[in-house]
Every structure is written in structure tokens, then in C-alpha cells.
């Protein structure tokens, strides 16, 4: 018997040693050799390059080139890259129809798919590549759940469109539809806008959820500096991708884990930085879910407190006139940090191996018009406010940075709709009056199912000239492109028999953003009586993933996580 056979190819400090070491692992070694790998390569760290590239939407169509640069960096640093794809959905393709029901639920599928691939193959480290609304939070959730060395590369924003000398984002097409209906635009003008408003690859050119979450990813130290706002088409994006590949091998060698980076203090900083730039209402869905994976906590009250204490220093479309391009040229996340230096804890380590303070100090760019100093902030508070009251005992959210002053406090009669499509028909049909409060229900995580985004409705209000005089409340959610007094994520939702389920046309709804109140001007006794008379909720979907999702998903107030 030959007792000298150990077949040890890899140091046992690597997780992947379980895959290649030992007599019993001859099968995996044979597979690797059959794919062209050498014995020497089996000794190197195995790095998963998890890519959400697809050919269906602009946020991910360019990620194959990003992955190529990442893999070059990994190989150069002495690792072995293994690229694998997972799904990604673009909110823009799913707006206004039942496809949107699948978008928020896809977050859980993406996170789960990364987990099972990384753990099933015992990878040593991960580079996670993605760029749109649910994909960035899903990747961060996966990294923190698995807790092996990981680094994120976000795909970067799309360049702004130029029309008649002004800059636009794709989201503004939906607002232009109202002008078309009213006869303020010709069909040929509108068609021309379609041809130019999405000029190339990247996430939509606005401070929507995709770019808000990319800023958050950099602010919590999970990307290299400059990654969030480096645009999709730039050489800097490819350099950051390659540098991320180089860096992940060092993180594996040093055993630096995501939960070492994302502490409670770092999580707080991420919220602070993102709120200072007008971050999306969907932050309130994703950050609590990310915190949970890190074994930390972030409630709506916590988010509200940080927002209230954070100056609003960068006003980016749709809330302002500046673009993501302007923000990038002004220093991006590092520029925001430099402006907030006196209020923020920047002495926290990032995946770069340097602290945020060190990264910000290396920045050359500065533009005090785009990123204002704290003493010249647009407002003393950040982008989001969380409202509570008898209509939202668990909470609701509004992007206050996009609300005109005269609508911060509003009372008006309810106009109730059981889905977004019916509300959109009423808006375009001139059935909504100034002062109304549109109520869209049956759009929550369970009742939707999947908590659809109401951008078609909110954009219709803008296009019809109603966004500064009509409020909208829903148990669904909003795009970061939403403007006006639009209050979403109302919890408890319709399916959970929250009071939103029993609002009647004509009921007066009181909104007070400054006092954080959302009230139905109906007595508690009447609300209870109406709820008691409601029939049992009947789910819209009874089979497949969405049916399982609806049964397991929790409240939007807790991040719509699966229980």
C-alpha cells in the first residue's frame, strides 16, 4: 500500500482546498484539468466573478467587458477567476404592467443564487458585478450573508441625454407622455425623444434606486473609491474593475471579510452619505434587508433619524438640475464625504485597504456648486422622511427633497383605485382634480404581489401638470424618479388588512411631512368597523414563485424580506 499519497494541491487556509485536495477529490481535479487548468493553478485562490450581464437592458449590457477587466486583475494578482452569471431585471422594462410584480422578488433570487454557487463550490472570494435597482442590494445581501472576502463593482450610470441643449434622463419620457396627451408635444417630437433619451449603456441617469444603491455600496466601503459614479462608458470604470480584481486576491490572502467592513457605524455612514445626495425611497426597503444579513439593525426610525440629521448637499435629477455626470466630476462619493467631513466618521476601513478619510483626501476634484458645503446646504435634512399615523402604524416613506414647499402639508379627498393601471387611466382621462389624494392599494409585497413601482402613475401626474397639487399614497413603492408628495410603502398593506384597505372615496387624508404624520380623518371605531366587514383577502397569484413569495414576504417596513 502506498502511504505517501496525499494529493495536497492547495493550502488548507483556502476554502477551495476542500474541492481539490485529497484522493477523494480526483473527480473535481479531472474536471479542472479537462477545462485546461494546470496543477499549479489548482494551488491558487478560486475567485467567483458573479456577473449579472444580459443582453436585454442597458444597465447590464456592458458588464461582459467589466467582467473581462475584473478577470484580468484576478489573474495578474495570482488568483483563478471563475465567471458565472445570475439574473437581473430592469425596472424600466417592467413599468406599468404585471411584469413589475417580479422585480422586487428577484432580489431574493439573486442573493440566494450567489449564496448557493459560492458555498456549493467553496469559493475563496467574490467579485460581484451589477448595476440596477434590485441587483446591487441583492449582491450586498449575498456578500454579507456568505461572509467570505468580497468586493462589489457597480456598472455605472448612463450618460445624460442632450435635447435642445438641455440634459435629460430616460425617466422623463414618461413625464413627456402627459404633454403628448395634452397636445403640448407632437408625435414626431416624442418619437425623437425616444431615440435619444437612453443614449447608451448604464443605469438610468438620475438619482434613482440604482445610483442611490451604488453610492450606498461605496459609502459602506464595499467598492473601490470612485466606483459608484464612474460612468458605464468610461475608461475609469474598466480601471476600477481591473483594480477590484487585483484587490480581491489581497483580501483573500488577508482574510478581510465583509462583516469586518460593514459595521453598524459604517452602515450609519452609508445612510448618511446617500441621504445627503437625495437617495431613493427604496433605500428604506433595501438597507434594512442588507443590515439583517450583516447581523445588524436598521429600522425606519433609524433611517429617519439619520436623514433628519444629514444636510442635503447635492441636488441631482430628478430632484434638482444637476446630473450624475456632474456629481462624478465633482468627486462623487468622496466629494460628498469631504463636504460632510465634520459630521461623518470617515476613519473606517474599506475594501481598498484605506479608510474613507484617506480615500477622500486623495481627491483632486471639487465643485461647491454641485456638492455644496454644509453651511450652504439645500436643506438641513436628507432626502427621506418616514410618516406614521392611523394610515401607517408601521410606517411609510416620502422623498421630501422632491416635494414643493406648499405640498409639505396637505389635506384632500381620497380618490381610490385598486391597482396602478386604473389610476393612470383616471389621470390621463382628466378625472383627477387639484387637491385630490390618489390612493392606490393592492400593490404591497403580499397584495401585489411583489410591490410594484408606481412610476407610470407619478410620471402621469407630472405630465398632466398635477404633481404640485395632487398627492398620491400607496402600499406599493416608487421609483427614484418620482417627484411630488408621493407616499409609498404604507404598512400594514392591503393584504395585511391595514387601514389603506378601507379608505373610501371622499374620505379626507391629512399629510404633514414636517410632523411625520399620515392620517385618515376617520375615527378609530369606524376604521375597525370597516375592517371587520372586509372579506378575506384573495391572492392574485396562486402558483409559482410569486405565490411562494407572497406567503413568505414580510412587511415593507422591515425590508420586505422573506421569513
Residue 415 CB neighbours (<10 A): 21
Per residue in 414-442, pLDDT tens? 999 999 999 999 999 999 999 999 999 99
**Mean of pLDDT values over 140-163:** 96
Per residue in 26-65, pLDDT tens? 999 999 999 999 999 999 999 999 999 999 999 999 999 9
Contact 10, 43 (CB under 8 A): yes
| Band of residue 10 on the pLDDT scale cut at 50, 70, 90 | very high
Q: Superfamily assignment of 44-160+199-361 in CATH?
A: Response regulator (3.40.50.2300)
Beta-strand relationship, 161-163 and 80-85: unpaired
| Res. 92: pLDDT tops 90 | no
- Can you tell me the distance from the alpha carbon of 122 to that of 447, in angstroms, rounded to the nearest whole number? 38
| Band of residue 365 on the pLDDT scale cut at 50, 70, 90 | confident
Cell numbers placing 463: 405630465
Q: Is 453 annotated as a binding residue?
A: yes
Q: Is 368 annotated as a binding residue?
A: no
| Band of residue 481 on the pLDDT scale cut at 50, 70, 90 | low
CATH 3.40.50.2300 residue ranges of the chain are 44-160+199-361
Structural fold of domain 386-558:
Glucose Oxidase; domain 1 (3.50.30)
- Can you tell me the distance from the alpha carbon of 29 to that of 21, in angstroms, rounded to the nearest whole number? 9
pLDDT at 174: 75
Residue 332 CB neighbours (<10 A): 25
pLDDT at 356: 98
Q: Is 134 annotated as a binding residue?
A: yes
CATH 3.50.30.80 residue ranges of the chain are 386-558
Q: Is 179 annotated as a binding residue?
A: no
**Mean of pLDDT values over 360-388:** 94
The residue count of the chain comes to 563
Per residue in 482-507, pLDDT tens? 778 999 999 999 999 999 999 999 99
Any idea which of 4-8, 262-266, 388-392 has the lowest mean pLDDT? 4-8
- Which of 17, 479, 491, 555 does the annotation list as catalytic? 479
Terminal-residue alpha carbon distance, the chain: 53
CA 184 to chain centre: 34
Per residue in 500-529, pLDDT tens? 999 999 999 999 999 999 999 999 999 999
Contact 507, 411 (CB under 8 A): no
- Can you tell me the distance from the alpha carbon of 197 to that of 166, in angstroms, rounded to the nearest whole number? 11
244 is catalytic: no
Q: Look up the pTM and report it.
A: 0.95
Coil vs helix vs strand at 320: coil
Contact 26, 8 (CB under 8 A): no
pLDDT at 284: 95
Which residue's entry shows cell 418619437?
191
Amino acid at each position: 500500500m502506498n502511504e505517501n499519497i496525499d494529493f495536497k494541491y492547495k493550502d488548507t487556509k483556502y476554502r477551495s482546498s476542500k474541492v481539490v485536495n485529497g484522493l477523494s477529490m480526483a473527480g473535481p481535479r479531472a474536471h479542472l484539468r479537462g477545462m485546461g487548468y494546470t496543477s499549479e493553478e489548482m494551488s491558487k485562490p478560486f475567485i467567483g466573478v458573479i456577473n449579472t450581464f444580459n443582453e436585454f437592458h442597458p444597465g447590464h449590457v456592458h458588464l461582459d467587458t467589466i467582467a473581462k477587466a475584473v478577470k484580468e486583475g484576478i489573474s495578474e494578482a495570482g488568483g483563478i477567476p471563475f465567471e458565472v452569471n445570475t439574473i437581473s431585471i430592469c425596472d424600466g422594462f417592467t413599468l406599468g404592467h404585471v411584469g413589475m410584480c417580479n422585480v422586487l422578488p428577484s432580489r431574493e433570487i439573486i442573493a440566494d443564487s450567489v449564496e448557493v454557487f459560492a458555498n456549493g463550490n467553496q469559493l475563496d472570494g467574490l467579485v460581484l458585478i451589477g448595476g440596477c435597482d434590485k441587483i446591487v442590494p441583492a449582491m450586498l445581501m449575498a456578500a454579507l450573508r456568505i461572509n467570505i472576502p468580497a468586493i462589489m463593482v457597480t456598472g455605472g450610470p448612463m450618460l445624460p441625454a442632450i435635447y435642445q441643449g438641455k440634459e435629460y434622463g430616460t425617466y422623463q419620457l414618461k413625464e413627456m407622455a402627459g404633454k403628448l396627451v395634452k397636445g403640448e408635444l407632437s408625435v414626431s417630437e416624442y418619437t425623437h425623444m425616444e431615440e435619444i433619451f437612453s443614449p447608451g449603456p448604464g443605469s438610468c441617469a438620475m438619482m434613482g434606486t440604482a445610483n442611490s444603491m451604488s453610492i450606498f455600496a461605496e459609502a459602506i466601503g464595499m467598492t473601490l473609491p470612485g466606483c459608484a459614479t464612474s460612468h458605464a462608458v468610461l475608461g475609469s470604470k474598466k480601471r476600477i474593475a481591473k483594480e477590484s480584481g487585483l484587490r480581491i486576491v489581497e483580501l483573500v490572502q488577508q482574510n478581510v471579510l465583509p462583516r469586518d467592513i460593514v459595521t453598524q457605524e459604517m452602515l450609519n455612514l452609508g445612510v448618511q452619505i446617500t441621504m445627503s445626495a437625495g437617495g431613493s425611497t427604496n433605500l428604506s426597503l433595501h438597507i434594512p434587508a442588507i443590515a439583517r444579513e450583516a447581523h445588524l439593525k436598521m429600522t425606519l426610525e433609524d433611517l429617519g433619524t439619520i436623514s433628519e440629521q444629514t444636510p442635503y448637499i447635492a441636488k441631482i435629477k430628478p430632484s434638482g438640475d444637476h446630473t450624475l455626470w456632474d456629481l462624478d466630476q465633482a468627486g462623487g462619493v468622496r466629494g460628498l464625504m469631504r463636504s460632510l467631513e465634520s459630521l461623518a466618521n470617515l476613519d473606517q476601513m474599506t475594501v481598498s485597504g484605506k479608510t474613507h478619510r484617506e480615500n477622500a483626501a486623495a481627491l483632486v476634484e471639487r465643485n461647491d456648486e454641485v456638492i455644496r458645503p454644509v453651511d450652504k446646504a439645500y436643506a438641513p435634512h436628507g432626502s427621506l422622511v418616514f410618516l406614521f399615523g392611523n394610515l401607517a402604524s408601521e410606517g411609510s416613506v416620502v422623498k421630501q427633497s422632491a416635494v414643493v414647499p406648499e405640498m409639505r402639508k396637505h389635506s384632500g379627498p381620497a380618490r381610490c383605485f385598486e391597482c396602478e393601471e386604473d389610476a393612470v387611466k383616471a389621470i390621463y382621462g382628466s378625472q383627477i382634480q387639484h387637491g385630490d389624494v390618489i390612493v392606490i392599494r393592492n400593490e404591497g409585497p403580499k397584495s401585489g404581489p411583489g410591490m410594484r413601482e408606481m412610476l407610470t402613475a407619478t410620471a402621469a401626474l407630472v405630465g398632466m401638470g398635477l404633481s404640485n397639487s395632487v398627492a398620491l399614497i400607496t402600499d406599493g413603492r416608487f421609483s427614484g424618479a418620482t417627484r411630488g408628495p408621493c407616499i409609498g410603502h404604507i404598512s400594514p398593506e392591503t393584504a395585511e388588512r391595514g387601514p389603506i384597505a378601507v379608505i373610501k372615496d371622499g374620505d379626507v387624508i391629512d399629510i404633514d411631512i414636517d410632523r411625520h404624520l399620515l392620517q385618515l380623518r376617520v375615527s378609530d371605531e369606524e376604521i375597525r368597523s370597516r375592517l371587520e366587514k372586509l372579506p378575506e383577502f384573495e391572492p392574485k397569484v396562486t402558483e409559482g414563485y410569486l405565490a411562494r413569495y407572497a406567503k413568505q414576504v414580510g412587511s415593507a417596513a422591515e425590508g420586505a424580506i422573506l421569513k
